A and B are shown apart, each in its own frame.
Chain A
Amino acid sequence: MSTTVQTAPAGDQAQTRKKSRINRWDSPWLNTKFLVGLGMVLFIMLMGPIGRLVWSEALSYPASSPLNLPPPWAPGYDQTGLKVVTQTESVSSAATATPAPAASDAQAEAPASGGTSMTGGNPLAKPTAASGGQSTSMTGGNPLAKPTAAGGQAASMTGGNPLAKPTTTAASQTQAAPTGPVGAAAYARFGVPTWEHPLGTESSGRDMLAVLLVGAPRSLRVGLIAATIGMLIGVVLGFTAGYMGGWVDAVIRTLSDAIIVIPVLAVLIVIGSYVKVLQIENMAVLLAAFLWPAPTRYVRAQVLSMRERGYVNMARISGASSFSIMFGEMMPNMLPYIAASYTGNVSAAILAATSLEVLGLGPTRIPTLGMTIYYAISAAAILRGMWWWWGIPIAALVIVFSGLFLMTIGLDEIANPRLRGRKKAAAA
């Protein structure tokens, strides 16, 4: 039973499916996984051109926005910006992190030096601390507000004091658990979140939304260019190897077997370290040099299995040239396979390019997603609790990778009806 399915050409199965179609919407190309994946990738791809209409690209430059703003929609950051600070060490880092003229003030220094000896600022000072305290750290506003801010932090520092509790803002209660001092300290030095920066800003004053709009399509473009070039080389070599056979096949196969083993990223790192700043197009071409073996192997295996099929023999007997047999007869039959291999390659290229950027070897002037992660890591954003700095580029990349992966699986199912049929049988 299964052997007959295996030997039957994919084209025949598509024919039988076509006959049993219910309506014109019952096409194998309307695969849910494929379409969802395509949607995810298109979403990221169109983000740049569409986002440019509503959002200023110039905000992706350093120092174009206030620093360290959390996203306004994120829970746990109240609209006034100041967080509950619960423990000694956290206050010390918060106090040192706000370089205001009043920093030398005895009252501002006090919590840093001896938190436990503090009697706790008067609760009356709290509301002013909550409203004005953070604005000083952000805009460098009036120094008069500074001591009260420190007092307010000291008051909340006593933590367990029930009197202090109600005066602190309610939204921050859940996040600032007494056991998480570092987190609380980090929150205390962020700016006031505003809707002018919907995804927050990072420590060199880039607006995260602008970075995302500029960077995400760029990362995708590297992958598309690299995979397209690699695919073209791979398809041509794979067809040549599979169709010609002999020593040509041996050379191509051996070479692709050898190159597929070499860690791409490692070699790219050597190149990147010499060239220092790799431009996106150069990076894509370099990546393509390592992406062709996978499609070559794939196409070669497919050609070998198709070479002796009836319709190929038929074409050969009727005097078709090798070229037209390859690209007229075989190519259409393996289009879904090639497409699946292509999406896989796009994602591999994006991963390699992003990895290079994360190591600081990519383009540095224009923000890319990998470069943003690199800056976030080197600025210790993880341990400062600035999750939006690294989280947003990672989220965008995960959408891209998941989308491409879903497309690959969907295309596999389109190419191989067995996977589709079996799945239903397995589910039942």
Chain B
Amino acid sequence: MGGITWNYVLKRVGMWFLTVWLGTTIIFMIPRLAPGDPVAGVISRMTAQSGYVENSAQMIEAWRARFGLDQPLPVQYLRYVTNSLRFDLGYSLANFPSRVENMVFQALPWTVGLLLIATLISFVVGNTIGALMAWERTPGMIRNLLPMSLTFTSIPFFMLGILLIYIFAFGLHWLPASGSVGRGLTQGFNWPYVSSIAYHAILPATAIVIASMGFWALGMRGMMITTAGEDYMILAEAKGLRPSRIFWLYGVRNSILPQVTALALGLGGIVGGAVLVEYIFAYPGVGYLLYQGIVTSDYTLIQGIVFMLVFTTATLVLILDLTYPLIDPRITFERG
């Protein structure tokens, strides 16, 4: 059994904490460093819209007190960090009475669902294709996928998304171009609702899967080429093991480890890419909410979402890190 030592767990949790803290600090610092005052900015926008705002100076003061901006900086900072960690993300500036955390938690399942499924599919399929590309017994057809995977690796998610919309939604009318679910369906776990969700998710998920598959395939191919030259592979063949057994349990099993590390390191990029995919597809996840926040200059919403993105990414990496010793027992001895 891969023994998880307490030392290792503590270190990983410490890393998680450091990441979340760093992210929170950066998000806290940016508005304080940026030129201009967000509250004054909101007031000046109101002035521009309605011509004149009464008691704007008092309003600015009232808002300052409401957001605690009249306190000294360290106090503000402490309050911000503790509030963030309790998911108290404040009120949205653009749609005032609603709270940011509620808006985010409504959108989060869409994003997490889409991303988890798409990333899982691309990871499994991409690694399998990559391993097959480096395997001597595979037919030439799969080996010839290499140039294709090279091409698709370099295309960002959202560009592929635009292409897919143009071909399948605009050109062929096969799939919907935007949204996450059809109108007029009762929410809940019934067939029309679930199938509509799946129907709407096909295009955005395909964009993510195809665009990231090549990356996994290429990495896996490189690892498999290295693994194929190892002595235990030759021994396994000499023993007369079944080829499928050699392939999965000797080849893939030993080549997959760096890929899992790459997944943990690449999650931030995948999340960032998904933001744009949601924006392109008007998919009601966190990314689309973020875009709406940008359009309406809703600073608390933007900050809240970015905090949640950092938090979610760090947590996923923590989970990956904690499961890593199970697939690679050496890791606790190396780092721990």
Contacts of B69 in A (CB 8 A): none
B294 x A418 contact (CB < 8 A): no
Tell me the nearest residue of chain B to A272, going by C-beta. B294
Is the CB of A200 closer than 8 A to any CB of chain B? no
B154 interface neighbour in A254, A266, A398, Cβ under 8 Å: A398
Stretch at the interface among A134-142, A158-166, A178-186, A331-339: A178-186
The minimal Cβ–Cβ distance linking A389 to chain B, given in whole angstroms, is 11
Stretch at the interface among A214-222, A236-244, A351-359: A351-359
| Given A254-B15, A271-B30, A418-B226, A263-B297 contact (CB < 8 Å) | no
Is the CB of B13 closer than 8 A to any CB of chain A? no
Chain B residues numbered 142-158 whose CB sits less than 8 Å from any CB in chain A = 150-151, 153-156, 158
Proximity string of chain A (358-383) to chain B, C-beta cutoff 8 Å, 1 when within and 0 when not = 11110000000000010001000011
Stretch at the interface among A22-30, A318-326, A400-408: A400-408
The minimal Cβ–Cβ distance linking B137 to chain A, given in whole angstroms, is 12
- Give the docked Cα–Cα distance between A351 and B212 (Å): 14
Interface majority SS on A: helix, strand, loop or mixed? helix
The minimal Cβ–Cβ distance linking A353 to chain B, given in whole angstroms, is 12
The minimal Cβ–Cβ distance linking A337 to chain B, given in whole angstroms, is 14
The minimal Cβ–Cβ distance linking B140 to chain A, given in whole angstroms, is 11
The minimal Cβ–Cβ distance linking A334 to chain B, given in whole angstroms, is 18
- Give the docked Cα–Cα distance between A221 and B177 (Å): 33
A182 interface neighbour in B27, B158, B170, B229, Cβ under 8 Å: B170
Interface size of A in residues (CB-CB distance below 8 Å): 56
The minimal Cβ–Cβ distance linking A46 to chain B, given in whole angstroms, is 20
Residue picked from B170, B222, B226, B291, most chain A C-beta under 10 Å: B170
Contacts of B36 in A (CB 8 A): 274
- Give the docked Cα–Cα distance between A262 and B316 (Å): 12
The minimal Cβ–Cβ distance linking B275 to chain A, given in whole angstroms, is 6
Is the CB of B213 closer than 8 A to any CB of chain A? no
Contacts of A273 in B (CB 8 A): 293-294, 297, 299, 302
A257 x B302 contact (CB < 8 A): no
The 4 closest A-B pairs by CB, nearest first: A265-B272, A274-B34, A401-B154, A405-B154
**14 pairs, CB–CB < 8 Å, chain A vs chain B:** A2-B230, A259-B22, A260-B268, A261-B267, A262-B310, A263-B271, A265-B275, A267-B27, A269-B294, A270-B26, A270-B303, A355-B276, A361-B294, A398-B154
| Chain B interface residues toward A at CB < 8 A | 15, 18-19, 22-23, 26-27, 30-31, 34-36, 38, 134, 136, 150-151, 153-156, 158-159, 162-163, 165-166, 170-171, 173, 177, 218, 222, 225-226, 228-231, 264-265, 267-269, 271-273, 275-276, 279-280, 290-291, 293-295, 297, 299, 302-303, 305-306, 309-310, 313-314, 317
Known: A258-B22, A269-B290, A270-B30. 19 other contacts (CB 8 A): A1-B229, A2-B230, A260-B265, A261-B265, A262-B22, A262-B26, A265-B273, A266-B309, A266-B310, A267-B26, A269-B275, A354-B156, A359-B294, A377-B162, A402-B150, A405-B150, A405-B153, A409-B218, A426-B134
